[in-house]
Amino acid sequence: MTQENQDQSAGIRELLEKVVLLEQRIDKIEGQLDIAVQGMVSAQPARYHSEQAESHSDEDVFVDKGLIESNIFEYGLAWFGSLVLLFGIAFLSNFARNYLSGPLASLVGYGAVAGVFFLSWYLRNSFSHLSFMLNLSGHLLVYYITLRLYFFIGQPVIPVKGIVVFLLFGVVCFQSYLAIRRNSELLATIALILILATALFADATFVSLPLVVLAAAFSMFLFIRFKWWRLMLVTLVLVYLSQSIWLMNNPVMGNPFGTFSTHPFNLLCLFIYGAIFSLVPMIKQDTRFPEGLYSATILINGISFSVVLLLVAAAYYMAGYVLIFTLISALCLFYSIFLKYRTSRIFDPAFYAIYSFMALSVAVYGYSKLPDAIWLLALQSLLVVSWALWFRSKIIVVMNTILFIGIMVFYMAFYPPVDKVNIAFVIAAFVSARIINWKKERLTLKTEMIRNIYLIALFFAMLFALYHLVPKQYVTLSWTGAAVFYFIMSLILKNIKYRWMAIMTVLLTGFYLFFVDFSNLETGYRVLAFLFLALISLGASLYFTKKVRKKSHVEVEQSN
């Protein structure tokens, strides 16, 4: 029995060895076949590869065309068909009024809409997108048929406008409820648009404007709750557009266009819109928000608010807008302080601070009128620079610089000179330049451009102010005194820029002396002007020559 087992084991080993040899031979044959196939492929002409590429590209195009056709049939035709159905049922409702009484025609319309809702419910599982589009069409049709119970019809079905407005509001509320329940931003957007439409259709101050306020508040609620930022932006624009249409006497309802609606309730509602959309900077950042959403919202709200405010002020408050803009300035200033400590974004508090100072400028203008208001505006720039230091905001400094230079150029070009205004520009330019140089690290100003602009403004404002401040025979002496002031400042501050301002002032003074004063001044004043200018020029030359030589001597000794 032991011998038999040994014979079986030997047979198995022999069989395994043959299997291994067979596998090795098969591997060799497969390797030779692969080499042959590769050689055949490489020997094919280029035409073969081009044909293969064309066949692949045709196949890809076929797949893309299939996808396009699928999208067109599933989505495009669903939109188109729903739109056609919407108009069809609307025309059916109007057609029924020609043969039926008003209530029966409305019932026909409501029955057709019920059929649309039933079809949407029936297709909800198998054709979800088509079901969704039919559902939207049904909601629009319900609103339209309800609207036609009183509006845009010869014989109203319900003769009391207030009842129909209430029914329209109920339809919109139900749509809003469904939008929240289904988490549908599109349905919510339609509901908000219909709220604003209802406000215009109502054409009554204490109904229309509260509905617009409600739309603004509801959009902000949805933005906070569901992060629907697109809906919020669309509503923001439409709210201010609706207010503008209302101010133009609501021509949507056939009223004469351009006759301003002057009810003071307009201003209150405008402030409420602005306050509601100003809450956006307080909303916590979310990954679903695009970059720049906060800045875009603040800018759109600010611009829209300003445009509508101008319409309101022009319509009703031309005699008392100073108090309005003063209030706006105070509110925005306090809100900018709140945002400074509430948010980490730099632009948000800076914008409200800038808007506050712009409103304050309008109030100053209304209080003093031009040109008296200009000296207050010039001094106001110092307040703005101080505020920018506190906020560490380069944006405020840049905007203030642009406004300051613009006001100064506008004043010098178009208004007769006033001494207190001229002096205010000199003081504001000098102090602003010093503050910016003193705290440039706090303002994160990496260049000297802003400060140089203020120094250039100081240079021209000083010459302009002295020219109109002193008698003509003393202009040369006063300009020379300004050069002395610049030289002293360069020594105290160890700043070469003031030295260059002094040199430029001396050159301009010499030019003025030779080409203007030389023929106009009496001999005594002329001699005094020449001697004083020469004394200052030579003294400055001797001082700085001595200083340069001393500095060169020290450098030579240090090198040795």
pLDDT tens profile 462-485: 999 998 888 877 777 788 788 888
Residue 152: strand, helix, or coil: coil
State how far Cα 456 lies from the chain centre: 32
Examine residue 416 and say whether the peptide bond preceding it is cis (omega within 30 degrees of 0): no
Q: What is the DSSP letter of 344?
A: S
Residues in CB range of 349: below 8 A, 6 or more apart:
336, 337, 339, 340, 343, 391, 393
What does the alpha-carbon distance between residue 302 and residue 329 come to, in Å, rounded to a whole number? 13
Where on the phi/psi map is residue 249: left (φ > 0), alpha (ψ -120 to 50), or beta? left
pLDDT of residue 99: 64
Residues in the chain: 560
Mean pLDDT by 10 residues, the chain (560 residues): 54 62 64 51 42 42 46 55 66 67 79 86 79 84 90 86 94 94 92 95 91 96 94 96 89 77 78 94 87 91 93 78 91 93 86 91 83 81 83 82 88 86 90 81 66 90 90 79 85 83 79 62 52 57 55 49
Give the C-alpha separation, 424 to 409, whole Å.
Answer: 14
CA distance 261 to 258: 9
Question: What pLDDT is attached to residue 335?
Answer: 94
**In a 3-state reduction of DSSP, which class is residue 30?**
helix
Give the count of alpha carbons within 13 A of 448, CB side only: 7
Q: What angle do CA 502, 508, 509 make, to 5 degrees?
A: 85
Q: What is the pLDDT of residue 41?
A: 41
pLDDT given at position 560: 47
Angle at 204 (CA atoms; ends 200, 209), nearest 5 degrees: 65
Region of 254 (left: φ > 0; alpha: ψ -120 to 50; beta: rest) is: left
- Kindly give, in sequence order, each residue whose CB lies less than 8 Å from that of residue 259, ignoring residues fewer than 6 positions away: 248, 249
Nearest CA to 226 out of 273, 286, 175 is that of 286
Tokens 């094919």 sit on residue: 44
- The answer to whether residues 294 and 347 touch, using CB atoms and an 8 Å cutoff, is yes
The rounded distance, in Å, linking the Cα atoms of 541 and 385 is 36
Distance CA 101, CA 368 (A): 66
Question: How many angstroms separate the CA atoms of 473 and 527, rounded?
Answer: 11
| Helix, strand, coil % over all residues of the chain, rounded to 5 | 85, 0, 15
Which spans in 77-184 are helix H? 77-96, 102-122, 128-147, 161-182
pTM over 0.85, yes/no: no
d(C-alpha 212, C-alpha 270), whole Å? 10
Residue 318 has a CB neighbour count (10 Å cut-off) of 9
